[in-house]
Amino acid sequence: MNFSFDENYLLSQLALCIERGKLNSSSKFPADMISQPGVEELLPELLSRNISPKIILDNGLLIGMNRVGEKFRDGKIFIPDVLISAKAMNAAMEILRPYIVKGDLKLKGKVILATVKGDLHNIGKNLVRMVLEGGGWEVIDLGIDVSSDKILDALKTNDIKAVGLSALLTTTMLNMKDIVRDIKNNFPEIPVAVGGAPLNQRFADEINADLYSPDPQGMLDYLNNNFSLN
Amino acid sequence: MINKINQYFFSFNELNFDEEKLIRAFKDFSTQNVPLLKNTWNQLYSFIQQNCKAVAGYRYFESDSISYQNNILIIDDTQFNLSPIIYRDLKDATDIILFVCTIGNKLEEKVQELVSSGDTISAFILDRIASELVELTADLLENKIQSELTSVGYNLTNRYSPGYCGWSVSDQKKFFSLLPENFCGVRLTESSLMLPIKSVSGIYGTAHNLIRKDYHCEICDDEFCYRRKTDKGIII
Ligand code: B12
């Protein structure tokens, strides 16, 4: 690729800001980057130099998010830092939104998330949403206490790549079984990921889910590995 | 003697949640991001102080309503299939205490509001603080009960909750059937979820001169329990 030294530098700085969750020059964290420019300064600067949104996404933002994923997998950072990066990423995507709306920039695909029937625990699912959106996926969040019907409806009316289900208690996670079965009966090609505090791989296998992950990153990696970009 | 049924209301200050406890609860924040944590705490502090409505209550069952049988605890006519790990500890108790505590639903609603406004990080922080506060409420209740019991020479066993140590969370239905309706403002859904969400239920045994045992993780087969102790005795 043919960028000037400056632009390559800006792209690598942008990746660093995503990796470290540096939003803008006035944000107080990370403490070692105080008063340095952040995503909200670097990204508009790159756009003003006619660097295409796709290059910015692929060669800046997603490089930063991939490093976050690596550090999380290696146990160097934990959920809060991942969220902080995802927040910076969400701010970046907000700036790029006009290009997405126009169709100049495509997201990776759509995913459904839901907390299952009988369960009202929301925060775990919301964190998954934030990380998936930060990774360039579009999320249709069906909320809490969600039954099969609602998910099947959303699958009928959207081009969906995968479904993610969340539960908090062993009593409510049992409802996942019927939901996975209903999805598999109607949309056998759609992978279903399950997660939440009481779950484990054994239970996911028993109910024929395609993926169990104890954290959002696992689902993001699964999506990135199984569905090629654009 | 101790009341048969009792309720306490604790102020936020009594729960004693301070910046030190905050930092301890968020050890997974990298040092460079602690300013964000402190900033969020400062912003939410007065809201939390005003809206954390800690309520805790218990019902005390004396020995004449208690019997034991092969891992089963019977209170009045209600049978609880306790796991061996809990049974082993409780069976020496003559009396039983069932308790519930909550911090109400205001913090939970605020978490939702923060999520809707796009501030998922503050929501995450507040959600975890709320969980800490309800645990502190349970600790405070334990202190209250123990100090009432101390005067008559009784001690408490460890605290156990439905859903832990092999005791099925679906026993919550039977558990709540032994308490007044809407006790401490907590109710149970069809799927055994307590509302408000930030609520805890549990059981103690008590007896004269009872010696409190250690937790025994080695006889429990729940390999996925998050409270499982390591070989070194540390809870991971
Ligand atoms: C904090 C906590 C509480 C708090 C707050 C609970 C809340 N819902 O807000 C309090 C103290 C109130 C509490 C109470 C109880 N708890 Co509790 N609690 C926990 C604890 C320690 C953390 C849960 C949490 O909020 N984590 C933070 C959020 C953000 O994480 P999360 O929801 O798990 O989501 C993350 C992942 O799971 C994953 N994820 C979630 N969904 C999905 C979906 C997909 C597709 C993917 C890929 C990933 C994914 O990504 C998220 C981000 O990392 C867990 C044990 C643990 N370490 O997980 C027990 C746990 C959930 N509790 C448990 C139990 C039993 C209870 C009680 C029933 C105990 C009692 N009798 O009082 C009550 C029930 C409360 C109620 N309302 O009915 C059990 C549930 C298992 C079971 N037996 O049913 C657990 C698993 C502990 C255990 N025994 O091992 N609890």
Tell me, yes or no, whether A98 and A73 share the same domain: yes
pLDDT at B232: 39
Tell me, yes or no, whether A115 and A220 share the same domain: yes
Mutate to test the interface with B, among A87, A93, A115, A169 (most CBs of B within 10 A): A169
pLDDT at A207: 98
On whether residue A2 sits in a domain, the answer given is: no
Ligand 1 centroid–CA A199 distance in Å is 10
CATH number of residue A123's parent domain? 3.40.50.280
pLDDT at B221: 63
On whether residue A58 sits in a domain, the answer given is: yes
Instruction: Residue B228: list chain A partners with CB under 8 A.
Output: none
Tell me, yes or no, whether A114 and A74 share the same domain: no
Q: Which of A82, A102, A122 is the last residue of a domain?
A: A102
Q: Which of A81, A102, A123 is the last residue of a domain?
A: A102
Ligand 1 binding pocket mutation candidate from A142, A145, A169, A219 (most atoms within 8 A of CB): A169
The pLDDT tens digits of the residues spanning B138-150 come to 999 999 999 999 9
Would the CB of A79 count as within 6 Å of ligand 1?
yes
Rounded-to-integer distance, Cα A165 and Cα A180, Å: 9
Coil vs helix vs strand at B104: coil
Prior bond of B196 cis (ω within 30°): yes
Which range of residues forms the domain containing residue A47?
A: 7-102
Tell me, yes or no, whether A88 and A118 share the same domain: no
Confidence category of residue B233, pLDDT binned at 50, 70, 90? very low
Residue of A nearest to B123 (CA): A123
On whether residue A140 sits in a domain, the answer given is: yes
Distance of CA A116 to CAs A111, A121, A161, B110, Å? 15, 9, 19, 22
CATH number of residue A92's parent domain? 1.10.1240.10
Mutate to test the interface with B, among A20, A33, A126, A173 (most CBs of B within 10 A): A126
CA torsion A132→A136→A138→A144, rounded to 10°? 10
Instruction: Residue A216: list chain B partners with CB under 8 A.
Output: none
The values of phi and psi at residue A113, to 5°, are -125, 145
Please give the model's pTM, rounded to 2 decimal places: 0.93
DSSP state at residue A33:
G
Would the CB of A219 count as within 6 Å of ligand 1?
yes
Interface of A with B (CB under 8 A): 20-21, 28-33, 77-81, 83-84, 87, 90, 117-123, 126-127, 129-130, 168-172, 175, 197, 200
pLDDT at B231: 45
Q: Is the dihedral of CA B106, B111, B112, B113 positive or negative?
A: positive
Tell me, yes or no, whether A133 and A81 share the same domain: no
Mutate to test the interface with A, among B224, B227, B228 (most CBs of A within 10 A): B224
On whether residue A1 sits in a domain, the answer given is: no
Q: Which of A69, A102, A135 is the last residue of a domain?
A: A102
CA B67 to chain A, closest CA, distance in angstroms equals 27
pLDDT at A121: 87
Confidence category of residue B212, pLDDT binned at 50, 70, 90? confident
Tell me, yes or no, whether A89 and A114 share the same domain: no
Instruction: Residue A197: list chain B partners with CB under 8 A.
Output: 226
**Picking from A152-161, B51-60, B68-77, B211-220, which range would have the lowest pLDDT averaged per residue?**
B211-220
Residue of B nearest to A80 (CA): B29
On whether residue A180 sits in a domain, the answer given is: yes
On whether residue A155 sits in a domain, the answer given is: yes
The pLDDT tens digits of the residues spanning B192-205 come to 999 999 999 999 99
On whether residue A154 sits in a domain, the answer given is: yes
Helix (H) or strand (E) holding A160: strand A160-166
Q: How many residues does chain B have?
A: 236
Residues of chain A with pLDDT under 70: 1-3, 5, 228-230
Count up the domains in chain A and report the number. 2
CA A128 to chain B, closest CA, distance in angstroms equals 11
Angle at A96 between CA A78 and CA A64, to 5 degrees: 30
Q: Which atom from ligand 1 is nearest to the alpha carbon of B199? A: 12
β-strand pairing of B154-156 with B78-81: unpaired
Instruction: Residue A81: list chain B partners with CB under 8 A.
Output: 28-30, 33
Who's near A145: CB < 8 A, 6+ residues apart?
A115, A116, A117, A118, A119, A120
Whether A170 and B115 lie within 8 Å, measured CB to CB: no
Q: Would you state the structure tokens that stand for residue B11, as one six-digit string? A: 């102020």
A8 versus B227: the higher-pLDDT residue is A8
Ordered by where they begin, the domains of chain B are: 5-235 (3.40.109.40)
Which amino acid residue places its CA nearest to atom 54 of ligand 1? A197
ipTM of the complex: 0.90
Ligand 1 centroid–CA B226 distance in Å is 10
Does position B179 have pLDDT exceeding 50, yes or no?
A: yes
Q: Would you state the structure tokens that stand for residue B6, as one six-digit string? A: 């009792």
Sheet of A110-115: strand order equals A138-141, A110-115, A160-166, A192-195, A211-212
> Which residues are bridge partners to B68 per DSSP?
B73
On whether residue A131 sits in a domain, the answer given is: yes
Ligand 1 centroid–CA A207 distance in Å is 20
- For residues B128 and B185, the answer to whether their CB atoms sit within 8 Å is no
pLDDT at B224: 57
Tell me, yes or no, whether A120 and A193 share the same domain: yes
Does position B113 have pLDDT exceeding 50, yes or no?
A: yes
DSSP state at residue B215:
P
Tell me, yes or no, whether A44 and A83 share the same domain: yes
Would the CB of A176 count as within 6 Å of ligand 1?
no
Would the CB of A129 count as within 6 Å of ligand 1?
no
Does position B234 have pLDDT exceeding 60, yes or no?
A: no
Tell me, yes or no, whether A142 and A79 share the same domain: no
Tell me, yes or no, whether A77 and A176 share the same domain: no
pLDDT at B1: 57
Does position B184 have pLDDT exceeding 70, yes or no?
A: yes
Tell me, yes or no, whether A148 and A74 share the same domain: no
Q: Which atom from ligand 1 is nearest to the alpha carbon of B192? A: 78
Tell me, yes or no, whether A146 and A215 share the same domain: yes
Instruction: Residue B116: list chain A partners with CB under 8 A.
Output: none
Q: Which atom from ligand 1 is nearest to the alpha carbon of B195? A: 77
Angle at A53 between CA A49 and CA A54, to 5 degrees: 125
> Which residues are bridge partners to A129 per DSSP?
none
